[in-house]
Each structure stands twice: as C-alpha cells, then as structure tokens.
Amino acid sequence: MRDCIVIGAGAAGLSAGLTLGRARRTTLVVDAGRPSNRTAATIGGLLGHDGRAPAEYYAAARAELGAYPSIEWSGGEVTTGERLEDGTFAVGLADGRREFARTLVLAPGMDYRYPPVPGLAERWGGDVFHCPFCHGWEMRDRPMAVLAEGDVGVHGALNLRAYTSDITLLTNGTGLSGEQRDQLSAGGVKWDERSLAALDGEGSGLSAVHFTDGGELGVSAMLVKAFLHQRSNLARDLGATVTTSNEHLGVEAVVVDQMYRTGVPGLYAAGDAATSVPPSMAAAVASGYLAGASAAVQLAASR
C-alpha cells in the first residue's frame, strides 16, 4: 500500500510525482509511454525549456524523480481502477499486476482526434498543429491554413494574424454565414469552403492542400481544430465526473476544483485529462504540482 499512484508520466504526471516525492510520500508513477506531444519537434512556451525536444525534457524530468527514494517507476498501462470500501484505491495493469494506494492522481493525457483527411496524421505535431501558442512562433510568416468549422474556425483564423498575414480558413465542405464572412474579410483572412481530399508535401512537411474538385491551395502550415477525448473509462469507473460542456475547446475533461480534486475523496486529475483551458506543457506542469500537493496535504491530515 503506497501513499499515491500517479497514472501517466507526461508533464503533469511527472510534476505530481516530483511534488509527492519531495513530500516524502511513497509514490508509484505508471507510464504507458504515450505523451500527447510525442510527435512534436519542440516544446513551445514552457519557461526554461522553450524550444527543447520533448524526449529530452522527459528524460531529464525522469532523472530528477529518480533522485528521490520514495518514488518508484513502472512501465505499463493501467486498464482498471476501483475505490475500495476502506477508501483506498486498487488499479489493474494490462500485464495482470494490481497495485494499491491511499490516493490516486490521474494524468494519462488525452487522445487528440482530428478530421480524417488523408495526409494529416503523418504531419501532426509538425507543420500541422493544434495550438498557436505552442507552435505558432515556429510557423511564423508562412502561408497558413486553418481547418475548422463555424465560429471556432473564424476565431482560430483571426488569432493567427499575429503570426502571419497569409491565412486561409478551410471549412471542409461546411458553409460560412454572412456574418462570419464579414468578420474574416475585415480581418484580412481568406476562406475556402470546398471539401478536402488530402494534404501533400515532402516527407512530414506540408506544401499543399488538395480539394475533392481537383483544386489545390499552397500552404506550409496548418492549424487544425482537434477534439480531446479521455483515453479510457478509468476516470468514470473511479466515480469522477467527465464533461463535454466546453464546446469551444472540444475537451472531454475530468471535472476538478482549483486544487485538482475530483470530488471523489483521494482522487485527483491533472494535465490534459482535466483541462479547462487550452492544453499546454506549462499548464500541465502547474496542474500536476497542485494535484500532487493536494494529495500530500490529504495524506498528512489522515492517519
């Protein structure tokens, strides 16, 4: 019986684990090896690590956790979880192991789901990105496209004006209202309502969008509206509330309070899985710290 199990070793899980380790709490960090930004070339906007490769960042963070004797590390995927009658937690791993702890931090990351346009997946995390604050600087001054519908697309396209003057909103067969077109025109943004056939470019780069009518648009970067979904039913199985109420962000998030408590005693959630703001490494680190600190405070107050 450990003090805490942290599920996930992205930025949020590592931050929670470090906080608990420094509080001298026996902690098991379980990692399935699927950080959300694993395909990104660099980290953008994380103070002290701006421009660093994600793999390098994670390796350094894991080394930091390794300095604390109360922290254990395990590879594997948690597939089941339950809160026991005495208020402790049991989790089951895909390899058949069961682990137990007094508290639990959920930080498994999220599945980013984007339109099934051929050629998009191969460029995801590179020239095709979801967050202008994380990747916009690297794409600056290029001809850019935004793949999104309705007001979300209009907002995303207008927001890119800080990075480039050549922007085209692609609605992929969905029409725009007169008001939306007026907004785009006033902001100097072009639009194209044709359906997409594929993205093209050398290797993982982007150079053109092909439409189903045979037309083509030359672009070298694309902002795509992605929807974030829970990777499993684990949060729900443990009694947490999961919501899809944030329509603008399209996030299926675990509901937490300001200290990342789920409302289930001893259960916390952090990172993309519990985000109510645009996901980022900086936000994940902060949420993991607060979730870990909350768990440590609860543990200190209990017998």
**From CA 189, how far away is CA 191, in angstroms rounded?**
7
Q: Do 261 and 160 lie in a common domain?
A: no
Q: Do 17 and 45 lie in a common domain?
A: yes
State which of 224, 259, 287 marks the end of a domain. 224
In this model, does residue 245 exceed pLDDT 60? no
Residues of the domain holding 58: 2-112+227-301
As for how many domains the chain has, the answer is: 2
State which of 174, 198, 224 marks the end of a domain. 224
Task: Specify the pLDDT at position 199.
Answer: 98
Classify strands 144-147 and 167-170 as parallel, antiparallel or unpaired: parallel
Q: Which residues on adjacent β-strands are paired with residue 192?
A: 170
Give percent of the chain above pLDDT 90. 87
State which of 224, 241, 271 marks the end of a domain. 224
Q: How far is CA 303 from the centre of its chain?
A: 35
Residue 194 pLDDT level (bands cut at 50, 70, 90): very high
Q: Do 35 and 50 lie in a common domain?
A: yes
Residue with tokens 């039913």: 233
* Predicted TM-score of the model (pTM): 0.93
- Which DSSP state fits 261? B
Nearest to 192 by CA among 153, 163, 221: 153
Least confident of 65-79, 91-105, 196-210, 231-245: 231-245
In this model, does residue 303 exceed pLDDT 90? no
Report the chain's mean pLDDT, rounded to a whole number: 94
Backbone angles phi, psi at 30, to 5 degrees: -110, 125
Q: What is the CATH number of the domain that holds 190?
A: 3.50.50.60
Q: Do 41 and 108 lie in a common domain?
A: yes
Average pLDDT over residues 136-151: 95
Dihedral sign from CA coordinates of 142, 123, 168, 53: negative
Kindly give, in sequence order, each residue whose CB lies less than 8 Å from that of residue 101, ignoring residues fewer than 6 positions away. 1, 2, 3, 4, 5, 28, 88, 89, 91
**From CA 166, how far away is CA 219, in angstroms rounded?**
9
Kindly give, in sequence order, each residue whose CB lies less than 8 Å from that of residue 7, ignoring residues fewer than 6 positions away. 13, 30, 78, 91, 104, 105, 106, 107, 108, 234
Q: Do 231 and 95 lie in a common domain?
A: yes
